[in-house]
């Protein structure tokens, strides 16, 4: 399993997944984290600027954890087979570990920190 976590500042989970350009990628095998790396996107590759039908550098992830995202991105990810998770947890490592244990607090779409219309 591959889990992507929005982290524009590379320290905390970013709000607004659509505009985020830095993502921690966690590789998970049998419930254990086996690797972690950072992917940095160009502005044009951000979800906000890219098109859902075209290939994307984050294709192949199974889960995307973010501080917020709009309904459009939520649906776009779901249609690609990605499980979108919105949380108020701030630490990427803690969020992934809690998710793996079934303990991550999940917020509604547009709930945590998204303050504009989509």
At residue 4's C-alpha, the angle toward residues 36 and 50, to 5°, is 130
Separation CA 50–CA 47 (nearest Å): 5
112 inside domain:
no
Length of the chain measured in residues: 118
Q: How far apart are CA 68 and CA 56, in angstroms?
A: 20
Q: Is residue 67 part of a domain?
A: yes
Q: What is the CATH number of the domain that holds 87?
A: 3.30.420.130
pLDDT at 111 exceeding the cut of 70: no
Give residue-wise pLDDT tens across range 53-93. Answer: 778 899 999 999 999 999 989 999 999 899 999 999 999 99
Strand, coil or helix: 94: helix
- Counted domains in the chain: 1
For residue 110, being part of any structural domain is answered with: no
- Does the pTM surpass 0.85? The reply is yes
- In this model, does residue 103 exceed pLDDT 50? yes
| pLDDT category of residue 109 using cuts at 50, 70 and 90 | confident
How many Cβ atoms are within 10 Å of 16's Cβ, its own excluded? 21
pLDDT in tens, 5-58: 999 999 999 999 999 999 999 999 999 999 999 999 999 999 989 876 778 899
């Amino acid at each position: 399993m591959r889990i992507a976590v929005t982290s524009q500042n590379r320290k905390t989970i970013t709000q607004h997944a659509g505009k985020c350009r830095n993502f921690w990628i966690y590789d998970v095998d049998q419930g254990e984290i086996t690797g972690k790396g950072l992917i940095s996107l160009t502005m044009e590759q951000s979800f906000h600027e890219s098109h859902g039908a075209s290939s994307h550098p984050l294709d192949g992830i199974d889960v995307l954890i973010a501080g917020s995202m709009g309904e459009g991105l939520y649906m776009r990810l779901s249609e690609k087979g990605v499980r979108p998770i919105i949380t108020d947890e701030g630490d990427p490592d803690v969020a992934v570990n809690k998710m793996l244990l079934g303990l991550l607090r999940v917020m509604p779409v547009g709930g945590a920190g998204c303050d504009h219309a989509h």
